[in-house]
Structure 1
Amino acid sequence: MPIIEFKMPKMGESISEATIISWLKNVGDFVDAEETILEVATDKVDSEVASPVSGTISEIRFQKDDIVAVGSVLALINSDVQSTSEKKEVISNIKTETKEEVKQSNTEFKQLKSNPDAFLSPLIISIAQKENLSLEEVQSIPGSGTDGRIQKSDVFNYLKNRKYPLKSIPTTNNQQPTTSSYPKPKINYVEGKDRIVEMDRMRKMIADHMVYSKQTSPHVTSYIEVDVTNLVDWRNANKNKFQEKYKEKLTFTPIFVQAVAKAIEDFPLINVSVDDKKIYVHKDINIGMATALPSGNLIVPVVKNANEKDLVSLAKDVNQLAEASRNNKLKPEQIQGSTFTISNVGTFGSLMGTPIINQPEVAILALGIIKKRPEVITTEKGDEIAIRSMMYLSLSFDHRVVDGFLGGSFLRKVGDYLEQFDTNTTI
């Protein structure tokens, strides 16, 4: 029978690998063409992978929780449904380990000096934690990426040749790593009364991402209060008409996205990413919107090129992404490429929040609940007390590259766009 290599497909732009969640078939099982046989995860999106042909699975090369590069052979399928040209490719493409590779894998890894300036991505940190590698040990690994960056393959090669944990590696500046002497707090667990819940895969990824963000960026949070009475009145008066005409719900989210996109155009240096000493200023304005899932986890679908879309287009994008999030139908490319993130904590009744930056971005905006309360306003008759719809905005920003002036000015501009919303906007 001909043998087909079943490879990890490309899941979207800029995605180079995926984690295996589960195999739905085993070795020896017959599969139909286009039948789902594997579930994988990229970032925080789960995807199903179908068989390209009908046949019997003869070999599975990766198991659950393995991280697999795009293009890698996942399994071999014996198939009798194959063209003549395909038959000529078969087993000759299967790689075997050469004598030279075996010799290299048996060579003891040379001890190197630690580089405290080595950049460690969230993936590298996650692998290091799983393999119980110390920070100094990871930083000693030679990187094969751009500018010597440590890649996943570098860590795995190191682990393959690692004979024993390196107890102590001198740093380049001869400083000894500092460790906390504070003991880890003990958890009081009552057997039979309390229960232990294992983190699921997504929660582990969120936890790693949040810890990495706090360790990477010095967070500063600024707050303002905005009067959104006119915006609220306009939305309430037009939401039914909007849905009848465009078959879309008119929530506050697309209005928030529009205001943020306009403010970014005014302050483009808030739309950047940082890599070591370099600042990457993004031309595209892609707004991520933190979305709660029914499971309690969080995901951030992205509204691409938000500054180029009108309110109707933004509403369609927001509604489609929210629906796909709730039904776990997001595509990998729909959570990639955000340059700025918003989090509507008011959805849960929160007055305000101090959000954690979504790396590698440098700022995130939290929008609190809209509440009516008496406020002093200035009219033609002078100061008066009136019932107004008020809301708090809070901006967390990376103080390495965003100072108080830029952060405060940007936040105020977002507030201005919301307070000065054009109530003459026609539906």
Structure 2
Amino acid sequence: MGVKEFKLPDVGEGVAEGELVSWLVEAGDTVSEDQAVAEVETDKALVEVPSPYNGTVKELLAEEGEVVPVGNVIITFEVEGEGDDVSAEPEPESEAEAESEEAETAVAGESAEKGADQQAETPKGRVFAAPSARRLARELDVDINAVDGSGPGGRVTDADVQAAANGRMDSGVEDSEEESDDGPRDVSTGGKKSAVSRRDDGQSTNGAAASSSAEAAGRDRTLAAPATRRMAEEEGVNIDDVPTDETRDGQAFVTPEAITQYAQAQREAREAEVQADAEAAEAGSAEAAEVTEEGVAERIPYRGIRRTIGQQMEKSLYTAPHVTHHDTTVVDELVDVRAEYKELAAERDVKLTYMPFVMKAIVAALREHPILNSTLDESDPDDAAILVRDDYNIGIAVATDAGLMVPVVKNVDEKSILQLSREVNDLASRARDRKVTREEMQGGTFTITNFGAIGGEYATPIINYPETAILGLGGIEKRPTVEESEDGDEVVAASTLPLSLSIDHRVIDGADAAAFTNTVMENLRNPKLLLLE
């Protein structure tokens, strides 16, 4: 039985991290290869992560709600017939081994008091830390047991290890001299680091270090009674970090009083740090806006899909200068054609909406005005270029509980009205269930957003950057229109469709936008022509 680690995979091109939304298994569960073990949200998709092994779940290494970088180990498996993985964590020593080592340490301590030249090492326990943090700790020569974790559940992160290494260097632990009340004093012994740490106040209480800070001593070894070591474990303290002035034959000796004082100092330091961070955050919030939590019914984390959408909208709005062209067209014939084919489509188990007709009308217009089927390549500022596309991939904005998602229907020009209906309905349904894949939301050349489905006539839709245009659809309703006749103009009720076309004015001129919209409206007024597309 071997232990295998499983790292968060790259679930989509360019993904750097994902939020672990939920675990689908627990420690001890038996899993089979390709069985889903977790749900991970990344960019605009919620994906299930499958197990690569047949085996048993050993340990879950990430918390639900935690944002995990791609490549971090999130789960370990016990796999039958496999040797231990080189990256797997070692098993913790048994209780008998720990007690035996404690007994040896106690004997060493007693012998030291009698002048015997014996030494004992502190037994090392396991801590909750990512494998990458453990590797970094080894590279920086940092004792992982002495690092306070800032991650979920006290998990030690790479940043925690780096901070511990920086703190050790800043504290001068590796220097050969330390500052005392009487000035610098040499605490080196035969070129080795002293086991005795400096006391800030030069006083001792019951032989313990009366340090007022939570700074770690960082020794290589420490002498202590078994009961003292047990007390350190209960306090969550690494005994090698406890400051002390007591020695036994040149080796640091820690008492229970020293453990108590150091643990209290650590708690006070953490509380002070948390308070300082809270005050800084509060001050920053006050400077930004005079907003308080008073009266707030719910605090929703701004992350995952919602944050991705926000960042995309911000990038689009502040990169592309938006201009929105509004118009309205009469669609009486479109309403009749859709009603005529609706029952026929239902017989083929297809729900026929107006969207496929609009998509066909847009493709016909893009053929006549190809500049709107373009993207602006700014990857090289010195060689920027407008890329006019020859494929017609239409993105359909879908409102979901997690925010706006835009699955893409590929090659619209090659598909019939019924084919488009099936594909749009399928993509929209899976988008609402957050089952649409990342690949199905890439490669768009033009986007449609249908705000009229929930009420509304006009809007100023934000372009789905790096595309250069987006068409917003209002609701199809009976509205008063002017109809020309031999007897003069007459106001009649007609089914009309409001259109809102937003363009990137760096690429598309207002005249192009107006001409494109006119072509779309002409196609919608004569929808039977679209059946030939």
TM value normalised by structure 1: 0.70
Report the counterpart of residue 52 of structure 1 in structure 2: 52
Report the counterpart of residue 69 of structure 2 in structure 1: 68
Higher share in helix: 2
Distance 1:5 1:328, change over 3 A: same
Q: Does 1:234 align with 2:337?
A: yes
After superposition, the C-alpha distances for 1:279-319 in whole angstroms (9 at most, x for unaligned) are: 333332211111112x2722111111112111111111111
* Contact 1:231 1:423 survives alignment (8 Å): no
Q: Aligned to 1:91, which of 59, 66, 86?
A: 86
Report the counterpart of residue 451 of structure 2 in structure 1: 345
Q: Does 1:247 align with 2:349?
A: yes
Q: Does 1:308 align with 2:414?
A: yes
CA distance in 2, matches of 1:330, 1:419: 33
CA distance in 2, matches of 1:239, 1:365: 24
Helix, strand or coil at the partner of 2:375: strand
Q: Does 1:186 align with 2:187?
A: no
Report the counterpart of residue 30 of structure 1 in structure 2: 29
Helix, strand or coil at the partner of 1:91: coil
> How far has the Cα of 1:9 moved from its partner?
4.3
> How far has the Cα of 1:399 moved from its partner?
1.3
Helix, strand or coil at the partner of 1:212: helix
CA distance in 2, matches of 1:265, 1:291: 25
CA distance in 2, matches of 1:262, 1:20: 41
Q: Which deviates more, 415-424 or 250-259?
A: 415-424
Helix, strand or coil at the partner of 2:457: coil
Report the counterpart of residue 141 of structure 1 in structure 2: none
> How far has the Cα of 1:393 moved from its partner?
0.5
Distance 1:196 1:227, change over 3 A: same
- Map residues 140-159 of structure 1 onto 2, 5 A cutoff: none
Distance 1:223 1:23, change over 3 A: closer
Distance 1:305 1:15, change over 3 A: farther
> How far has the Cα of 1:220 moved from its partner?
0.9
Higher relative contact order (CA 8 A, sep 6+): 1
Helix, strand or coil at the partner of 1:394: strand
Distance 1:218 1:425, change over 3 A: closer
Distance 1:187 1:18, change over 3 A: closer
Helix, strand or coil at the partner of 2:345: helix
> How far has the Cα of 1:223 moved from its partner?
0.9
Report the counterpart of residue 166 of structure 1 in structure 2: none
Task: Name structure 2 gaps, 5 residues minimum.
Answer: 90-130, 141-157, 167-286, 379-383
Helix, strand or coil at the partner of 2:527: coil
Task: Name structure 1 gaps, 5 residues minimum.
Answer: 104-155, 164-182
- Map residues 160-171 of structure 1 onto 2, 5 A cutoff: none
Q: Aligned to 1:259, which of 345, 350, 361?
A: 361
CA distance in 2, matches of 1:281, 1:72: 40
Q: Does 1:41 align with 2:41?
A: yes
Distance 1:38 1:81, change over 3 A: farther
After superposition, the C-alpha distances for 1:133-165 in whole angstroms (9 at most, x for unaligned) are: xxxxxxxxxxxxxxxxxxxxxxx99xx79x9xx
* Contact 1:31 1:51 survives alignment (8 Å): no
Distance 1:284 1:81, change over 3 A: farther
State the number of aligned residues.
Answer: 347
- Map residues 99-110 of structure 1 onto 2, 5 A cutoff: 102=139
* Contact 2:20 2:62 survives alignment (8 Å): no
Q: Does 1:283 align with 2:386?
A: no
Identity %, equivalent residues: 34
Helix, strand or coil at the partner of 1:224: strand
* Contact 2:395 2:407 survives alignment (8 Å): yes
Helix, strand or coil at the partner of 1:263: helix
CA distance in 1, matches of 2:2, 2:460: 58
CA distance in 2, matches of 1:224, 1:400: 22
> How far has the Cα of 1:345 moved from its partner?
1.0
Helix, strand or coil at the partner of 1:4: strand
Q: Which deviates more, 60-69 or 338-347?
A: 60-69
Report the counterpart of residue 170 of structure 1 in structure 2: none
> How far has the Cα of 1:420 moved from its partner?
2.2
* Contact 2:361 2:530 survives alignment (8 Å): no
CA distance in 1, matches of 2:88, 2:445: 40
* Contact 1:373 1:387 survives alignment (8 Å): yes
Report the counterpart of residue 468 of structure 2 in structure 1: 362
* Contact 2:5 2:87 survives alignment (8 Å): no
CA RMSD of aligned residues (A): 3.7
Report the counterpart of residue 123 of structure 2 in structure 1: none
| Bigger Cα Rg | 2
Q: Which deviates more, 22-31 or 313-322?
A: 22-31
CA distance in 1, matches of 2:370, 2:48: 38
CA distance in 2, matches of 1:202, 1:353: 23
Q: Amino acid of the residue matched to residue 406 of structure 1?
A: D
Distance 1:367 1:26, change over 3 A: closer
Helix, strand or coil at the partner of 2:353: coil
Distance 1:285 1:54, change over 3 A: same
Q: Amino acid of the residue matched to residue 55 of structure 1?
A: G
CA distance in 2, matches of 1:47, 1:403: 40
After superposition, the C-alpha distances for 1:226-282 in whole angstroms (9 at most, x for unaligned) are: 1111111221232122211x2101111111111112222222222222232233333
CA distance in 2, matches of 1:333, 1:256: 24
